[in-house]
Amino acid sequence: MTRLSNAFAKGHPALVAFVTAGDPGRFATGPILDALVEGGADVIELGMPFTDPMADGPAIQTANLRSLAAGTTTADILAIAMAFRQRHPTVPLVLMGYANPMTRRGADWFAERCKEAGVDGVICVDIPPEEDDSLGPALRGNGIDLIRLATPTTDSARLPQVLDGASGFLYYVSVAGITGKQQAVQASIEEAVARLKAATNLPVAVGFGVRTPDQAAAIARVADGVVVGSAIVELVGEYGKDAAEPVRAYIESLAGAIRAARKEMA
Amino acid sequence: MSDPALLSNSYRTQPDDRGHFGQFGGRFVAETLMPLILDLEREYRAAQADPAFAQEFDDLLEHYVGRPSPLYFAERLTAAIRAGSEPGKGAQIWFKRDELNHTGAHKINNCIGQILLARRMGKTRIIAETGAGQHGVATATVCARFGLPCVIYMGAKDVERQQPNVFRMKLLGAEVIPVTSGANTLKDAMNEALRDWVANVHDTFYIIGTAAGPHPYPELVRDFQSVIGKEARAQMLARIDRLPDLLVAAIGGGSNAIGLFHPFLDDPDVKMLGVEAAGEGLERKHAASLAGGFPGILHGNRTYLLQDDDGQIAEAHSISAGLDYPGIGPEHAWLKETGRVDYTSATDQEALDAFQLLCRTEGIIPALEPSHAIAAVTKKAREMDENQIILANLCGRGDKDIFTVAEALGVEI
């Protein structure tokens, strides 16, 4: 069992909570990550800021720019991850970001640094399976999961290619669009999750546009995990270095709804 | 030789079936876009095999765009260069006159091709990014011609410095959306166009303006722009029964340059020079990705990028909005590495000087983009013999730039 597989085997769907590293400054992220854990997040998704986050909506775009303006470097992000690992030995941490910052010094360099920092998995937005001949192998060689994305446009002909080499969990991007904008119709999520679960034994986590406890609960009834990002990042944008407490309270409301949702079904 | 691409003894067989030019190119896009990119490739292969597609493309280029564009011997510019050269030096300077195309630049060639593809694919909405506005105007033009709604993303900074083109796009019925994310220039406009596309994959076609982006864009843009080099090659042979010694073209993303160069790549005696924008100088702010960048991944392809040690993309700078981009098309990155094409750069000031020189010697007001090429031509011509020939691509006219030039020269209009 890995930290990630444990997180999906707790008897309730996992709450995957995203926050941009170094927003609003590199010393602000540690307390926010602690607040995510304290509020009940099961998996931490730490965003690596990039100048050109073309899959992200306004909330995460501005978080990226705030972080970079504060001078956040790749070394800072890895240090944030390593410090988190020391404080929280059992909570899985996944890095999410774009290909260029991840591969700038070579895929092996990045994978080795991730291993040193205690990172459990990596989600790379813009390396599809067709181009994954270096990052995926480097990560797997260091015991780190490469978490693949499936989307509403991933048809059944293409799905096996997406699943080949995927591990940790499968991230279902429920909206054809950017982060934080629209939310998907619940029926379309249910249909997609059923299709994905028929094709893989990996846990399926659903994200994009999830904001309220009710939405999170509805997804939790059908999926193995719920990913929340922009709504958290907006709280960080609003409260800045004082964001830890409002973030904790918000995560608590989501975690409560997710756990209750699965109990109703039992 | 380890590069299998070169074993065929041709530089014209790129990319491979995964869209790679050596280590460059590829399809680095979000999963949502991947099925669409694959559809586009299938449709492009079908179009390539369909004589009716080529026929419609050629017909529109002839009767709507005004092709072939002239090949012109710049006699007075040549004489001016010779006057300042060693005896026997001063190559003949010829121009491919793509600034005479409808809409005033080479961009329309590619837009005609892509809108025909969009129609084949049944797409009903067109989006594009633009820097200088030439690609935006060309896209708005073909959308008006074919009756399709058109949304143009343009960096807010570029909207300010290219007002005449913004107004042209609006006259043509396009919606121009100023982009205020990031640095408010071309790369941010491209990010925003990608965000629109990913949210509207089912009905929208993205007309990319340069020979970059995810495969198959670099290939199909090159193919549509290759009309420049094919015509020029035939015109040279018809006029003087020989090929030029040196081809010169300006490079932002590199579509006019690859369009000129590609049909000549297997002519071993024809040298080629791509000219990047050196802005305020290579030691200061510039847009020369090959001279000052490193390989990386942005906007769907692996290529040379201006970036820092952490892979964060740097701001480009050029007086020419059309060259103000921190990347370059992947085929140019490959041609640089193979050594087939040489690359150099020209500063804002050199481009301004060349701009004025061409105005006065030939009665042609060039755009600031080809002014960079002309700056390199004036240097190269001095080193070459009188009986040698330089052919440069005059890829755009300068009407859109007169306000920028006036400001740079300290003139109020």
Q: What is the pLDDT of residues A113-126, one digit of tens each?
A: 999 999 999 999 99
pLDDT for the residue numbered A263: 63
Average pLDDT over residues A15-35: 97
B311/A104 touch (CB, cutoff 8 Å), yes or no: yes
B271 falls in which pLDDT band (50, 70, 90)?
very high
Q: Can you tell me the distance from the alpha carbon of B87 to that of B5, in angstroms, rounded to the nearest whole number?
A: 43
Query: Closest partner residue to B35 among A50, A103, A153, by Cβ?
Result: A153
- Longest CA–CA separation in chain B, Å: 63
Q: In angstroms, rounded to a whole number, what is the distance separating the alpha carbons of residues B287 and B274?
A: 13
Which residues of A are tagged catalytic? Answer: 45, 56
Q: Please give the mean pLDDT across all residues of chain A.
A: 95
Q: Percent of chain B at pLDDT above 90?
A: 92
Report the pLDDT value the prediction gives residue B79, as an integer from 0 to 100.
98
Which three-class secondary structure state does DSSP give residue A145?
strand
Q: Higher pLDDT residue, A179 or A224?
A: A224
Q: What is the mean pLDDT of residues A77-105?
A: 98
Q: Say yes or no to pLDDT of A259 above 80.
A: yes
Taking CA atoms, B109 is separated from A97, A248, B68, B139, B208, in Å, by 36, 56, 11, 10, 12
Chain A residue with the nearest C-alpha to that of B27? A131
Q: What share of chain B is helix, strand, coil (3-state, %, to 5)?
A: 45, 20, 35
Residues of A with CB under 8 A from a CB of B: 50-55, 57-58, 61, 65, 68, 73-74, 98-105, 125-128, 130-131, 148-155, 158, 162, 173, 175-178, 181
Q: Nearest 5°: phi and psi at B86?
A: -60, 155
Looking at the fold, whether B99 and B112 belong to one and the same domain comes out as no
Strands A149-150 and A170-173: parallel
Q: Which residues of A touch B20 (CB under 8 A)?
A: none
**Closest to A251 measured CA to CA, from A55, A44, A22:** A44
Same-domain check for residues B194 and B235: no
C-alpha distance from B27 to closest chain A C-alpha (Å):
7
Tell me: pLDDT of B60 over 80: yes
Q: How far apart are CA B361 and CA A253, in angstroms?
A: 74
CA distances from A249 to A38, A39, A88, A253 (A): 9, 6, 19, 6
Nearest chain B residue (CA) to A155: B35
Q: How many domains does chain A have?
A: 1
The whole-number average pLDDT for the span A81-107 is 98
Share of chain A above pLDDT 90, in %: 91
Whether residue B70 is found in the same domain as residue B138: no
Mention every residue, 6+ apart, whose C-beta is less than 8 A from residue A85.
A93, A117, A118, A119
Among B27, B182, B188, whose Cβ lies nearest the Cβ of A130? B27
Residue B163 has pLDDT above 70, yes or no: yes
Q: Using CA of residue A70, residue A74, residue A79, residue A82, what is the dihedral sign?
A: positive
pLDDT value at A222 more than 90: yes
Q: With an 8 Å Cβ cutoff, are A151 and B18 in contact?
A: no
Tokens of A75: 């070394």
- Which among B32, B194, B305 is the nearest to A173, CB-wise? B32
Same structural domain, B148 and B80: no
pLDDT score for A62: 95
Asked whether residue B237 is assigned to any structural domain, the reply reads yes
Summarised one tens digit per residue, pLDDT across range B94-125 is 999 999 999 999 999 999 999 999 999 999 99
Taking the C-alpha atoms of residue A95 and residue A118, their distance in angstroms, rounded to an integer, is 11
Section B37-59 average pLDDT: 98
Out of A52, A103, A150, name the one closest to residue B182 (CB): A52
Q: What is the pLDDT of residues B323-376, one digit of tens each?
A: 989 999 999 999 999 999 999 999 999 999 999 999 999 999 999 999 999 999
Q: Domain with B95 in it: what CATH number?
A: 3.40.50.1100
Q: Which positions in chain A touch B41 (Cβ < 8 Å)? A: none
| pLDDT at position B1 | 40
Among A95, A100, A172, pick the best mutation site for testing chain B contact (most B Cβ within 10 A): A100
Cβ contact A153–B27 (<8 Å): no
**Minimum Cα–Cα distance from A125: chain B residue:** B30
Bridge-based pairing of strands B150-155 and B125-130 is parallel
Minimal C-alpha gap between B178 and chain A (Å): 15
When scoring B38, B129, B191, B310 by the number of chain A Cβ atoms within 10 A, the one with the most, hence best to mutate, is B310
The partner residues of A173 in beta bridges, in order of sequence, read A207
Which spans in chain A are helix H? Answer: 3-7, 29-39, 58-69, 74-87, 99-103, 107-117, 135-141, 159-163, 186-199, 213-220, 230-239, 244-265
CATH value at residue A199: 3.20.20.70
Among B28, B195, B313, the residue with its CB nearest the CB of A127 is B28
Q: A176 contacts in B (CB within 8 Å)? A: 32, 198-199, 201-202
- Percent of chain B scored above 70 by pLDDT? 98
Residue B192: which of B136, B142, B146 has the closest Cα? B136
Cβ B186 vs Cβ B230: under 8 Å: no
For the segment A190-202, the average pLDDT, to the nearest whole number, is 96
- For strand A121-124 and strand B71-73, is the pairing parallel, antiparallel, or unpaired? unpaired
Q: Which two tokens stand for residue A195?
A: 């299709």
Residue B15 in domain: no
Residue B2 reports pLDDT greater than 50: no
Residue B413 is predicted with a pLDDT of 85
Which residue does chain B place closest to A124, by CA atoms? B30
Question: How far is Cα A149 from Cα A132, in angstroms, rounded to an integer?
Answer: 13
What is the number of CB-based contacts under 8 A between chain A and chain B?
A: 114
Q: B194 to chain A nearest CA, in Å?
A: 7
* A20 vs B contacts (CB less than 8 Å): none
Give pLDDT tens digits for B200-231: 999 999 999 999 999 999 999 999 999 999 99
Question: Is A51 within 8 Å of B312 when comparing Cβ atoms?
Answer: yes
User: How close does chain A come to B222, measured CA to CA in Å?
Assistant: 22
β-pairing verdict for B71-73 and B294-298:
unpaired
Is the pLDDT higher at A262 or at A178? Answer: A178
Confidence of residue B37 (pLDDT cuts 50, 70, 90): very high
Contacts of A155 in chain B (CB under 8 A): 35
Residue in A with minimal Cα distance to B20? A131
Residue B342 lies in a domain: yes
Residue of A nearest to B187 (CA): A52
CA distance A94 to chain B (A): 18
Is A100 in contact with B305 (Cβ distance < 8 A)? yes
Tell me the C-alpha distance between A215 and A230, whole Å.
14
| pLDDT, chain B, mean | 95
Q: Is A177 in Cβ contact with B35 (below 8 Å)?
A: no
Q: State pLDDT tens for residues A133-188.
A: 999 999 999 999 999 999 999 999 999 999 999 999 999 999 988 988 788 888 99
Output the pTM of the full model.
Answer: 0.96
Q: Is residue B74 part of a domain?
A: yes
Whether B7 is covered by a domain: the verdict is: no
What DSSP string runs through B318-370?
-SSGGG--S---HHHHHHHHHTSSEEEEEEHHHHHHHHHHHHHHHS--B-HHH
- Nearest chain B alpha carbon to A69: B182
Q: CA A124 to CA A149: how far, in whole Å?
A: 9
DSSP classification of residue B313: B
CB contact under 8 A, B35 and A155: yes
Q: Please report the pLDDT score of residue A264 as a whole number.
A: 63
Residue of A20, A153, A161, A230 to mutate, interface with B, max B Cβ within 10 Å = A153
Q: Last residue of a domain, which of B221, B251, B281?
A: B221
The number of distinct structural domains making up chain B is 2
DSSP assignment of A146-196 equals E--EE-TT--TTTHHHHHTT--S-EEEE-SSS-TTS----HHHHHHHHHHH
Residue appearing with tokens 């396009």: B174
Domain stops at, among B221, B243, B266: B221
What integer pLDDT is reported at residue B181 of this predicted model? 84
For residue B181, what are the domain limits?
22-63+107-221
The C-alpha angle with vertex B383 and arms to B377 and B385, in degrees rounded to 5, equals 100
Chain B hits for A65, Cβ within 8 Å = 182
Residue ranges making up the domain that contains A195? 3-265
Disruptive mutation site among A20, A50, A51 for chain B (greatest number of B CBs within 10 Å): A51
Contacting residues for B210 by C-beta, under 8 A, at least 6 apart: B135, B221, B252, B253, B254, B255, B325, B329
**For residue B8, is it within any domain?**
no
Which of B28, B305, B310 shows the shortest C-beta gap to A126?
Answer: B28
Residue that finishes a domain, picked among B203, B221, B239: B221
